[in-house]
Structure 1
Amino acid sequence: MVNQMAGSTAETLIAEDPLAVFCSAVTGDLSLLAMLHDIEPEEKLLSALRSEGFSTSLGLRLKSDEGQKSLAFFDETLRALPEDIGTETLDQLAADYASIYLNYGINASPEESVWIDEENLICQDSMFQVRSCYERHGLGVEDWRIRPDDHLVIQLRFLQFLFEKNPDLEVVREVAHFMDEHLLRWLMQFSNRVANRCDTPYFAGLSLVTAYYCEELRDLLANILDEPRPTSEEIEERMKPKRQVESVPVSFMPGMGPAV
């Protein structure tokens, strides 16, 4: 009875609150995208995506030309899979997954630091910045040595977590800031490189859909907040390390002016 009452209340709230409807739809989409980047594709998953139609399963309908083209490409890729998805297809996808997410064989790291750091190193300032964002909500990664805090999957999961909270404009603003300062600073570069270098159209389509989805999501947040998106230059200026200016004592020597 308690569960039935809770479900009824949630449905009533969603029906009455457009922001709740939006957040609920985006939560489901982010969960799906994170899962697809998280694991090697399996036969059951691929068959479900093919039969249901990926683009129609999204709660957020992409409107941009690039977004629609990426969805059409990914849908066609799924339809083109063999009727009986056998070992050969799964092995090809597993090898491509490993090349992208495990051994970086195509030089397209799914970790933010590699794209932001001047020396393209992992586990740099970006990782600690996103870790601070997680810690404010009592969250943390299981093992940053295996999958660092700034990994694509974890950033998508964090956005999912925020959208699952009681939706209000402050949550929306926090999501917007996190996307500006972290995910969207590197996601399109990652996705384009994957699309150009990976061996299977599956991961090319998935990477592009993810990037264009997140771009359109951010545009919608700007509309909800009635606040324009900051430019890339404004974001980079905002994220520059703040210099610490220390006062240096002035010393004097007989017959000389001040020396520092």
Structure 2
Amino acid sequence: MLNQEQLSCYQAQANVLYHALYFEPSDFLLGQFRDNEVAVSWPNTGEASSRSRGLGLLAQALDEPDEVLLPRLKRDYTELFIGPGELKAIPWGSPYLHEKRLLCGPSTEAFAAFCQHHGIQVTTQTKEPIDHMGLMLSVVASLLAEEAKQANGVAVKVAGDLLTEHLLPWGGRFCQLMAEGANTPYYQGIALLTTSLLEGLEQDLDLTPLSLQLFL
């Protein structure tokens, strides 16, 4: 079981990574990183090596002025996650878990049923599958915040089930593809910080992810 400090730290990390992965890069988010001196204020939860390397890359990126950095980030974001063309790091889970690499496959339906069962609402920007890495991290963040309030083990159990069954089976591969495909230290760093978060939660919650065949 995570203590209150760990819950708050993991919740904050998951929330930041949700914004970094799901939304197009903006001067507002970059300003938040700089104002909060992210390289020194990032919580110490998560796998240490990936966290350290990720923060170093993020700090390197943030040294550039926005007028130089933002166009590069928007291009990187588009090539990684949006297209057109083949995406370098598909952010939805289903293509990793379906032999035909389909969006909205059985794993998407299973995650939707999981959310419905637990009364979880997932808000998307457009009509799109809800098994997006960023969206799933937003759910994890919300559950950890709920656990910090209630402290009864219920929400953290749901978060553990979400990770074990729906996110960890493909999350590591996504992070690997993102790190390899990113052309900027910023997104290379975000990939490593996401790796750190997922590996840390797996260890600290003593989770055993489902072993599923991957097709990406």
Structure 2 length-normalised TM: 0.84
Q: What is the match of residue 82 of structure 2?
A: 102
- Aligned partner letter, 1:170: V
**Aligned position for 1:49:** 33
Matched positions, count:
208
Contact 1:114 1:120 in 2 (8 A): yes
Closer, same or farther: CA 197–143 of 1 in aligned 2, 3 Å: closer
1:90 has 2:70 as partner: yes
AA of the residue aligned to 1:75: A
| Partner in structure 2 of residue 158 of structure 1 | 139
C-alpha change, 1:122 and 1:144, in structure 2 (3 Å) is farther
Q: Distance in 1 between matches of 2:145 and 2:70?
A: 33
Q: Distance in 2 between matches of 1:129 and 1:70?
A: 32
1:201 aligned residue: 185
Root-mean-square deviation (CA, aligned residues, Å) is 2.5
Aligned to 1:187: 171
Higher Cα radius of gyration: 1
- Indicate the structure whose relative CO is greater, using CA pairs within 8 Å and at least 6 residues apart: 2
- The 1-side partners of 2:33 and 2:108 are apart by 32
Residue of 112, 117, 131 corresponding to 2:98: 117
**For 1:57-96, what aligned pairs fall within 5 Å after superposition?**
57-79=41-63, 81-82=64-65, 85-86=66-67, 88-96=68-76
Q: Is the 2:93–2:131 Cα contact (8 Å) retained in structure 1?
A: yes
1:131 & 1:49 partners in 2: Cα distance? 32
Return the alpha-carbon distance in structure 2 between the equivalents of residues 120 and 105 of structure 1.
12
Identity %: 23
1:23/1:167 contact within 8 Å kept: no
User: Which deviations, in whole Å up to 9, do the C-alpha atoms of 1:108-137 show, x marking residues without a partner?
Assistant: 210000111122111001111111121123
Change (3 A) 1:138 1:184: same
Gaps of at least 5 residues in structure 1 are: 1-17, 223-228, 240-260
Q: Counterpart of 1:226?
A: none
Structure 2 runs not aligned, ≥5 long? none
User: 1-side partners of 2:49 and 2:24: how far apart?
Assistant: 29
Give the equivalent residue in structure 2 for 1:130: 111
Which residue identity is paired with 1:99? E
Which deviations, in whole Å up to 9, do the C-alpha atoms of 1:211-250 show, x marking residues without a partner? 222211221112xxxxxx32x5xx237x9xxxxxxxxxxx
**1:216 — aligned with what?**
200
Match of 1:36 in 2: 20
1:258 alignment partner in structure 2: none
User: For residues 32 and 143 of structure 1, do their structure 2 counterparts lie closer, same or farther at Cα, with a shift above 3 Å needed?
Assistant: closer
Q: Matched residues in 2 for 1:39 and 1:143: separation?
A: 10
